[in-house]
Amino acid sequence: MSRTFSAPHLVNPDTRSRVLSTAESLGYRPNRAARALITGRTHNIGLIVADIANPFFPPLIKAAESQARQRDYHLFVADTNEDPIMEEQLVQALAKQVDGVLLCSPRMSNDLIEKLRREVPLVVVNRAVDGLPAVVMDVANGAKAAIEHLVGLGHHDLALLGGPRGSWTNREIRRSAMAAAKLAGANLTVLGPHQPTEAAGAAACDAVRATGATAVLAYNDLMAIGLLEALHDRGVDVPGELSVVGIDDIMLSRLIRPKLTTVSTPTAAAGRAAVDMLLQHDDERRTNALVTLQTELIVRDSTGPNPH
């Protein structure tokens, strides 16, 4: 009898235990897909990220999965390869199989997000979208702290190694870094857009040096690390000749030499928060809920005083 599983409280304890033991001996397990058909709740969540192998995402995925399963949900994970078109396809493909989708660091337009939210409940991570539940990191404040840190070290000529087109985070960083530089009376040259990868960071090395900057803020740690590698190959001393700051504080950043100064973003907390927002009942959910997670500048060894 299905009530034993779906509404245990209004069934006779005797009957219940009898059913339970029979079920046990038969190895019976309720079929969630069949249940979903009638209840409309699948107890599945979709998680869409730009690149599973980008070290930024695994801690987020892990935290989301853990939080989801604690609430008896399973997690679909899908990878868009940084392709906005793939994002749309994936949301639609998963829509019928999940109770909601976590869209992490989307590259698609806000208009498209608006369209997709009508097909399936959406929570967006790393993007603020009007009227949509979202989890963002306060990267603006982080970028500001990074610029102030560099200016405090005597740097006047700064460069920003920009991230991918379509990234809300990238826009926030640029806006905030430009404002902070202006306020401090420093020059800031903006480079980009670039893919958020180590290879792109390395490839941008010469462009960075051509700006004449003595300090660089990168869109993320991966690009900063790529830049560091290329700088090392060219015999440029960090932080002696050039200071480098990243954003994210991925595991790598404290393991490389010099240890990377970076803005730490709470990725695991973001994963948990996103799951919580998706799963909290609609009546509690304010449609414009926006959770902003704090960031923190971690000063390590890749930044130093202006050599000039």
8 Å CB contact between 52 and 79: yes
The one of DNA, a second copy, none whose footprint includes residue 11, by CB under 5 to 8 A per kind, is: DNA
* Residue number with CB closer to a second copy (95 or 289): 95
Q: Which of residues 175-194 bind a second copy (CB under 8 A)?
A: none
Contact with DNA (CB under 7 A): which of 17, 21, 39, 70? Answer: 39
Is residue 292 involved in binding a second copy (CB under 8 A)? no
The one of a second copy, DNA, none whose footprint includes residue 85, by CB under 5 to 8 A per kind, is: none
Contact with a second copy (CB under 8 A): which of 61, 173, 188, 208? Answer: 61
* Residue number with CB closer to DNA (7 or 53): 7
Contact with a second copy (CB under 8 A): which of 11, 20, 23, 78? Answer: 78
8 Å CB contact between 55 and 265: no
Q: Token digits for 35?
A: 């249940």
Dist. CA 104–CA 120, nearest whole Å: 15
The nearest distance, CB 38 to DNA, in angstroms, is: 4
User: From residue 89 to residue 128, what is the string marking binding to a second copy with x (rule CB under 8 A)?
Assistant: ---xxxxxx---------------------x---------
Is residue 10 involved in binding DNA (CB under 7 A)? yes
* Residue number with CB closer to a second copy (2 or 31): 31
Contact with a second copy (CB under 8 A): which of 225, 231, 238, 297? Answer: 225
Q: Is 207 exposed, middle or buried (0-12, 13-18, 19+ CB in 10 A)?
A: middle
Q: Token digits for 247?
A: 């954003």
Contact with a second copy (CB under 8 A): which of 23, 77, 128, 293? Answer: 77
Contact with DNA (CB under 7 A): which of 17, 21, 22, 37? Answer: 37
Is residue 2 involved in binding DNA (CB under 7 A)? yes
Is residue 15 involved in binding DNA (CB under 7 A)? yes
Question: What's the N-to-C CA distance of the chain in angstroms?
Answer: 80
Q: Token digits for 268?
A: 């695991």
Dist. CA 288–CA 123, nearest whole Å: 11
Q: Is 300 exposed, middle or buried (0-12, 13-18, 19+ CB in 10 A)?
A: middle
What backbone torsions phi and psi does residue 39 show, to the nearest 5 degrees?
-80, -25
Residue showing tokens 């192998």: 53
Contact with DNA (CB under 7 A): which of 26, 38, 81, 286? Answer: 38
Q: Token digits for 261?
A: 């100064």
How far is CA 277 from its chain centroid? 15
Stretch that binds a second copy, among 36-44, 157-165, 240-248, 273-281 (CB under 8 A): 36-44
* Residue number with CB closer to DNA (3 or 115): 3
How many Cβ atoms are within 10 Å of 230's Cβ, its own excluded? 20
Could you tell me the CA-to-CA distances from 273 to 30, 56, 97, 124, 266 in Å, in that order? 29, 16, 22, 11, 11
Single-letter amino acid, residue 262: T
List b or e across 257-278, with b for residues whose CB sees 16 or more CB atoms inside 10 angstroms. ebebbbbbbbbbbbbbbbbbbb
Question: Which residues would be at the binding site for DNA (CB under 7 A)?
Answer: 1-3, 5-7, 10-12, 14-16, 28-31, 34-35, 37-39
Question: Which residues would be at the binding site for a second copy (CB under 8 A)?
Answer: 27, 29-34, 36-37, 42, 44, 51-53, 55, 57-59, 61-62, 65-66, 69, 74-79, 81, 92-97, 119, 198, 225, 229, 251-252, 255-257
